[in-house]
Structure formats: C-alpha cells, structure tokens
Amino acid sequence: MATGPYRSAQPALPGRPTHQGERMQHSREIPALPARTDVLVVGAGPVGLTLAAVLAERGVETVLVDKQAEGANTSRAAVVHARTLEVLREVGIAEQLVARGVVVPRFTVRDRDRALLSVEFASLPTDFPFTFLVPQNITEELLLERLHAVGGTVHRPMELAAIATDDDGVTATMADGSTLRARYAVGADGMHSTLREHTGIGFTGDTYAQSFVLADVHLDWDRAENEVALYLTPQGVAVLAPLPGGRHRLVATVDDAPSRPTRADVQELLSSRGPQERPVTVKDVVWSSRFRVHHRLADHYRSGHLFLAGDAAHVHSPAGGQGMNTGIQDAANLAAKLAAVLRDGAPESTLDAYEAERRPVAEEVVAFTHRMTRVATVANAPLRGARNAMLRVLDRIPAVHRSMALSLSELGTTPEG
C-alpha cells in the first residue's frame, strides 16, 4: 500500500481565477527562431511543454513553436490522474501542482441521489492515491516555468506552414517564411494537427452524436467535496467535480448545446440530472463552452523523422478525464527515447519503441472511454434500468473496484507507458 505524502484527502486550496478570454502573460523575451535544432516540437499545450521541458533538461536542443500569440488562460482539461502525477514528479512539478488543486479520493456513478457504483483510489500502489482536479492553465503555467528553468522557451506566434523530410531530418517552413532544420519533429498540435496532415497518417474513428457542455461554476451546495460524480439520467449524463477556489466543473451531454452556456442553462442541467434531496443552485458561471467529442486514433505514431503525441495521435470521450493525461505520458516517453538517441548514442531503432509502447495504451483508453460513454448514454428506458441494476451488482465486487481504479488512474497500463 502506498505511504506517500498525499494519503489523505486534502481540502480545496485557493487557485488563481480563470476567466474566458484571459491569456497567460509572460515578460520573458523570446529569441529569434534558430536555423537548426535537434527536435522541433509543434504545439505548446501540456504535451508540447512536457516534451520540450524534458528534452531541454536532458541537454537536447529543442525548439517549441505555437501559433497562438499567448497561452490561453482557461481551465479546459482539469483532471490529473495518479500515473500522470508520477510522470510530472519526474519532470519536477508534481508537488507544486498538488499544492494548487483539489485532492479527490472517490469517483461515484449516480442515479440522482442514489450511488450505483463507487470507486475508491486510496489503495492504489502510488504516492498519489487519488484523482486530482486543477485547471489546465495552472498545469501549463508550471510546465512553462519548468521549461524556462531548464533554458527553454516557446516561440510564438509561430505557425507551421509546411514540413519536408529527407534521410537526415526535416525542414520546417513557418507561415512567416522562416525555415528551421531539425533532426526530428513532433506534432503536439492537437486534434487538427498540421504536422499529422503532412505525414499522411490516417486518423481513424468517428464523432459522437451529442454535443457536450463544459462549464466552471460557483455553486450554493453543502455537499462534501470528496468525489467526482457521474450522474446517469434519462435526460442525459452530467459529471460534477470540485475545482480550486470553491468552483465546480460540469460536463454534460446535450443534443444541441448553446455556444456559450449561461447560468440558466447550467442550472437546468443540474436541476434535471443532479441531486434532488440536496439540490444545487448555480450562483454564477466563471467560464463555459461547448464541444463535439471524437474517438479517433492515429494509424501510426511515427513517419520517418516525424512523430505524433497527445491529441494529434488520439482523441476520445471525456469520460474518465484521461485525454491530457495520456498525452503528457506520451511526451515523457518520447522525450526519453529522443534523448537516448540524440544525447547518449542509442540506435535509431530505439525510437520505434515509442509507438509500440504508447499506441496500445491509447487504444485501450479510447476503447475504455468509448465503453463508458456508450453505457452512460443509453437512451432506452428498459436498458437504463438493466444498466443501473448491473452497476449495483458490480459495486459489490472488490475486483471491479480495483480494476476501475487502475483503469481511471492509468496505473493499469504497461510500465513503459
């Protein structure tokens, strides 16, 4: 059993407020784009920042570019799982990150006030036996600080326009006409990856019919902040989780969500899907959005000197909150292999292990979250009743609890992942 410093649930700690439209401000002067580097990383979200920080710390020349003028200061991905915290400890920011968020020991599937299945994380074999909630902008802020500390930076706004490969490496052309020569390039630029389009690698999958509401809100609610709750109702699915600073994150399925969900929209969702005995009142909406969810997986993670990581390689349902987590783990894995080849003289074939190790993990995550989403969004009333009865049966089986905890935390993946 783990005996690390975070065994017990910790109270919510005040976090820096996030508001739609704000940007992370950094006064650091950005140097000119160099003519050559070892690794070009495209995309400065959590995946690209992790990759660049690990490479720079290991002495590998790295250029990180992003087409946005500044890093977005919105919360977006808010769940950080145990395996990712282990990776971020190796990067050097895990303890700082945990001090900025909310430790949650339990994941519960509910039918309004009735718990159908509860998953406890306390017995996980890790120093981080919990689910952790922190806005993505804080994760990015700490990763950026770490990148700066090891001598790296983000070149922005700098948009990749084209990339050509040859036997010795790649030549990247930016939208402003500047060029960069690199041994390798990594696309960490999201689901609509420009670099992936240049590789010609297929991105196989589909799109869910429903749209999703995403909102950070302040609530008038006296419930203890000790769980992430997944509500299954005839009206649809809603996930409610605590965030720092007394906020909550809501994710809910809607047939046709408004582009900017309002307080009234969020209140209706929680009134029709959330708790009834102790109902929730929405005081205000800090930030909200809508999105469509895809489940897609790149056919390959490598094409010669080009690699894919994070959402450029895999996207899936938000069920379980594993998207950013899988991507950060991709980045750490790939960075270690690139450093082994570029710094330590390991054979080029070392890089083949990246896809061999990480693609099966993403394949498992895509399948797991797809099953969760299909089960959660059952529309037929008799099937919903059977599903709920089955969940109550499964809740009495300890092996199910452990399997779910390992899957959600991603500690159940291979050691190399």
Please calculate the CA angle 134-136-142 and round it to the nearest 5 degrees: 85
Cα 51 from Cα 45, distance rounded (Å): 10
Which mean pLDDT values do the consecutive 10-residue runs of the chain (417 residues) have?
39 35 50 93 96 97 92 73 94 95 91 90 92 92 97 95 95 96 97 92 83 91 82 86 92 85 95 91 93 86 96 80 86 98 96 95 79 72 84 89 84 58
pLDDT reported for residue 69: 79
Cα 121 from Cα 182, distance rounded (Å): 43
Nearest to 151 by CA among 31, 279, 260: 31
Task: Look up residue 49 and give its two tokens.
Answer: 């920042």
Domains of the chain as residue ranges with CATH: 23-102+125-205+295-381 (3.50.50.60)
pLDDT reported for residue 224: 65
